[in-house]
Amino acid sequence: MPTSVVALLLCLVGSYMLLAGAAALGFLLARRQSPPPAPSTWPSVTVHVPETANPKRLRDDLHACDYPMDRVDILLSPPHDAPEARNADAPRSEVALHLPPGAAVPSGWMRSMVRRARADGSAVVGPTIVEHEDRFLPRLEALQHLARLVWIGGIAQAGLSPGPSTANRADGPGSAPRVAFNPDPEALLTRPPAPSFGDLIERQARWFRSSAQSSHLAQGTALGLWVLHTALLVCSVVAVAEPAWRQPTLLALLGKMGADVILILPAATHYGQRGLLRSLVPTVLMGMLSIPLAGLQAVTDRFSSPRPVDETDPGGRL
């Protein structure tokens, strides 16, 4: 293997390991913070739900929440409109809550998200996990999503905007631009997985498109992930025919897997998903293929048929 390629792999994997460690530390710090006290009077809330949601199930879930329902309005929102357009005709309320498509709502979700949004006066991002029912592809997607969740929590803990985040969100009464992260298990939403590998790539492509229109940090994160996984994919393909490439490529893959364990473990432990770690190897191998393809699809779609991007789209669970 040429020295320049070895240096590139060392730089990419080393940077990924450092960033994974920093994000995991930020997530752990966020997890250790005490939640803010409950307000003396619960504020009025508008819950924005996708038009594709099951209205009966969602209504039952929301009424099962431990929250005064006379203070709650439910608003159906088109899934791919801009946030401003979605909220134009929304009832006036002190806190706006947003649900991702297909989410199952636990009883403590509304209070947990409202309490954080009320205290911070800004946007609050809550956790989501992918329902996998121990099936192979959903397990891989769920593990990828846990890594992304820790990244969001770590970046938000550092006071930076995490860019495209989960659609589990609360907009507080203030106008502060800061985005906070709520690690509370009571705020955890479960959501269905992608039906197929092609759908998973499309979700990741939507995340890449959203990142391209977000902050510089989000753009750099998306570009770095694409370059890292593309370099690993190319090296792995070449290593099949060139024995001299095999050992450096294998070491790079092992380093990437070690960084993924550091990144995933805090969320997997906190949300009772540690069993997913046994799928780490196939998840890393799948990411080597799906992320380069998703990045290429995002670029192709952007130049061939531009379309509005919903920054709250659940998109690429990386």
3-class DSSP state of 312: coil
Residue 287 confidence class, pLDDT cut points 50, 70, 90: very high
**Residue 196 CB burial class (10 angstroms; 0-12, 13-18, ≥19):** exposed
Residue 55 included in any domain = yes
Instruction: Answer whether residue 315 is part of any domain.
Output: no
Number of separate domains in the chain = 2
Same domain, residue pair 233 and 181: no
**Count of residues making up the chain:** 318
Domain boundary, last residue among 130, 156, 191? 191
Let me know whether 148 and 187 are in one domain.
yes
The answer to whether position 316 is within a domain reads: no
Beta strands in 101-237 (DSSP E): 122-125, 128-130, 169-171, 176-181, 189-191
Residue 52 lies in a domain: yes
Within a domain: residue 112? yes
Q: Are residues 22 and 57 in the same domain?
A: no
Asked if the structure places residue 257 within a domain, the reply is: yes
Question: 């006071």: which residue's tokens?
Answer: 159
Average pLDDT over residues 268-292: 92
219 and 282, same domain (yes or no): yes
Domain boundaries, position 219: 3-27+197-304
Q: Are residues 158 and 300 in the same domain?
A: no
Do residues 47 and 19 both lie within one domain? no
pLDDT at position 211: 87
| pLDDT tens column, 159-202 | 777 777 678 888 876 655 678 888 999 889 888 899 999 999 99
Residue 154 included in any domain: yes
pLDDT of residue 270: 92
More confident residue, 294 or 158: 294
291, two tokens: 């992320």
Which pLDDT value is given to residue 231?
A: 94
Q: 174, 191, 208: which is the final residue of a domain?
A: 191
Q: What torsion, rounded to 10 degrees, do the Cα atoms 250, 28, 313, 222 define?
A: -40
- The stretch 1-28 carries a mean pLDDT of 92
pLDDT of residue 260: 94
**Chain centroid offset of residue 92 CA:** 28
The reply to whether 44 and 22 lie within a common domain is: no
Same domain, 114 and 250: no
Q: Half-sphere exposure of residue 135, counting CA atoms within 13 Å on the CB side? A: 13
Q: Which of 145, 163, 191 is the last residue of a domain?
A: 191
Are 171 and 227 in a shared domain? no
Mean pLDDT of the chain: 83
Is the pLDDT score of 314 beyond 60?
no
Taking the C-alpha atoms of residue 65 and residue 60, their distance in angstroms, rounded to an integer, is 9
In this structure, how many other beta carbons lie within 10 angstroms of the beta carbon of residue 55?
Answer: 11
300 domain residue, yes or no: yes
Which has the closest alpha carbon to 95: 66, 123, 69, 130?
123
Find the mean pLDDT for residues 137-150: 92
Q: Give the alpha-carbon dihedral of 150, 151, 157, 158, to 10 degrees.
A: 150
> Is the same domain home to 247 and 184?
no
Q: Answer whether 0.85 is exceeded by the pTM.
A: no
pLDDT digits (tens, 9 = 90+) for 224-259: 999 999 999 999 999 999 899 999 999 999 999 999
pLDDT recorded at residue 267 = 93
**Alpha helices by DSSP H, 2-135:** 3-32, 55-64, 83-87, 109-120
Q: Mark whether 185 and 215 lie in a shared domain.
A: no
Burial of 295 (0-12, 13-18, 19+ CB in 10 A): buried
In this predicted model, what pLDDT tens digit does every residue of 68-109 receive, in sequence order? 888 888 887 665 444 444 444 555 677 888 888 778 888 888
Together in a domain, 214 and 280: yes
User: What is the C-alpha to C-alpha distance for residues 231 and 225, in angstroms, rounded to an integer?
Assistant: 10
Q: How far apart are CA 109 and CA 126, in angstroms?
A: 9
